[in-house]
Structure 1
């Protein structure tokens, strides 16, 4: 059970994170001061220093906490079976939970992965996506000798595609629901460009 003190701490950190997002959106990461932040959040400097050393510490902790949320989803829903109906269902459930998480925290991820964000966070996201794609692909095809292209190139392609889709989703104002995004990603993974363009028939139901 969350105690009143814990609730106050959580609320204080939320206010500071929201203020940080407002300032990043307004002026970018560089140049934000503790004074700017606390005035934006309606808190005093002493309260800030109870939880963070400086702006960089607040940003780093926020990035870590947001990424940790994705890792929790991965660890809970990551399919550990081989290629069967259960594997595909679990993979889709994990993808849906992640898109819902992105939607719930869209302002943070949109800013961090956008032009005013932190370039290092894109690298962290790539490492996280590499973990997911590598584990899933290794279950699909554990034998490197059967691959038509080197595994690292397959994984690099998957990472680039996934990250690009997420960024475009944010840039488009999240005009598709998380469930629609799962369907979109599945089609992109399973169909070739001609099928996706409607120039070649596929067995995937619309």
Structure 2
């Protein structure tokens, strides 16, 4: 019987640890979790954990990087397709598809450092794309102020939606968000 390649074993172990972390965050919140809790849930040894991660924060940040990279790729594909006029639909769709991971990392039970990291990644995508949608005009609110307003409201709504177990579809959330913000943005920028 052939043995699994080291790469496959590494991937499997990392997935077990990630899944254990997400489950524990959803159950108890990030701050209450210890490495011992994680290795017990994943059923791996302490030395195995430390062969892959330096501590629980390192494991958490690894999850964030994967989530953020997947989110950024999803947003870029959404913007590139131009088939969907609602620019925030991609954010809600991605969160809906990765519900437990988002809820663990970006929800109220997650760590503030993760919400800040996710916010930074969304902000990077918005900074590249917002100038296409918001023309510079005399007397208009500066683009960076508008971006902060849009980002804060989007993330706040996203966290509420996740923590309330997605009471509406991604499409409904994106539509409601746009109905709330569009009149103000259109009035300020004359679009």
Q: Over alpha carbons, which structure has the higher Rg?
A: 1
- 1:104 aligns to 2:79 (yes or no): no
Contact preservation (8 Å) 2:26, 2:109: yes
Matched residue, 1:137? 130
Partners of 1:53 and 1:170 lie apart in 2 by 29
Distance 2:90 2:148 in 1: 23
Q: Provide the alpha-carbon RMSD of the alignment.
A: 2.6
The question of 1:154 aligning with 2:146 is answered yes
TM-fit CA distance, 1:161: 1.2
Which residue of 2 is the match for residue 180 of structure 1?
Answer: 172
Residues 108 and 163, structure 2, Cα contact 8 Å, conserved in 1:
no
Q: Sort the Cα spacing of 1:133 and 1:180 in 2 relative to 1 into closer, same or farther, 3 A.
A: same
- What's the CA shift for 1:108? 2.3
Q: Distance in 2 between matches of 1:146 and 1:53?
A: 51
Give the match's secondary structure for 2:166.
coil
Q: Say if 2:160 is the partner of 1:168.
A: yes
- 1:133–1:158 CA contact under 8 A, matched in 2: no
**Shift in CA distance, 97/149, structure 1 to aligned 2, threshold 3 Å:** closer
State the distance in 2 between where 1:152 and 1:95 align: 17
How far did residue 35 of structure 1 move?
2.5
TM-score normalised by length of structure 2: 0.78
Give SS of 1:110's match.
Answer: helix
Distance across 2 between alignment mates of 1:26 and 1:95: 29
Residue in structure 2 matched with residue 34 of structure 1 by the alignment? 35
What is the number of equivalent residue pairs in this alignment?
Answer: 180
Match of 1:125 in 2: 118
Gaps of 5+ in 2: 185-191
| 2:24 paired with 1:23 | yes
CA distance in 1, matches of 2:108, 2:144: 27
Kindly indicate whether the alpha-carbon contact (under 8 Å) linking 2:134 and 2:143 is maintained by their aligned counterparts in 1: no
Give CA deviations for 1:100-159 in whole Å, capped at 9, x if unaligned.
32122222222323333211222222222323333333112342x435222222111101
